[in-house]
């Protein structure tokens, strides 16, 4: 792959990166030189993704730091462990999200709606609040929040998820 940009020496923290879109983001960032933190709730899935990424790029580019996005303390531990390992966070990618309910908005329970808002909105707010001050201080860094077409177009079975992505 040709070099589109150089992330050598940069550190990327990517939530929901043990599979799917998050893992693909971690792969690409590592290919472009970044150190990447693979994070999701499941440690074994994180370790498998880390092994795959490191084998693909031929260096120890990825590390596993599991965390639960629904828990502020777990997110602070994720940020603290990333800083302890790499010294700073240059790129935060808020990719993790959840959707525990499929059906019309009129049928969602308060508990399911609250979980969607917690995981898809509040957790991003917490992480940004944890990493943005250092980025502002050094006038460098990026925050990416992964969205969905659902944020632009409603759905009869994914209403709450679409609201959270808008």
Among the listed residues 161, 162, 164, 165, the single catalytic one is: 161
Contact by Cβ (8 Å): 29, 86: no
> Is 161 a residue of the active site?
yes
The answer to whether the CB of 81 falls within 8 A of the CB of 3 is: no
Return the biggest CA–CA distance within the chain.
50
Structure tokens at 113: 């709606």
Contact call for residues 27 and 56 (beta carbons, < 8 A):
yes
Active centre residues (catalytic)? 161
């Amino acid at each position: 792959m040709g070099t589109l940009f150089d992330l050598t020496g940069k550190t990327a923290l990517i939530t929901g990166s043990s599979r799917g879109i998050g893992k693909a983001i971690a792969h690409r960032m590592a290919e472009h030189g970044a150190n990447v933190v693979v994070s999701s709730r499941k440690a074994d899935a994180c370790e498998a993704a880390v092994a795959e990424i490191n084998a693909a790029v031929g260096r120890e580019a990825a590390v596993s730091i599991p965390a639960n996005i629904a828990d502020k303390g777990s997110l602070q531990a994720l940020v603290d462990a990333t800083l302890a390992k790499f010294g700073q966070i240059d790129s935060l990618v808020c990719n993790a999200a959840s959707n525990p309910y499929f059906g019309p908005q009129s049928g969602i329970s308060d508990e399911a709606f609250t979980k969607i808002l917690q995981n898809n909105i509040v957790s991003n707010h917490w992480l940004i609040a944890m990493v943005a001050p250092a980025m502002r201080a050094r006038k460098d860094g990026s925050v990416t929040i992964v969205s969905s077409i659902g944020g632009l177009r409603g759905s009869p079975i994914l209403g709450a998820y679409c609201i959270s992505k808008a």
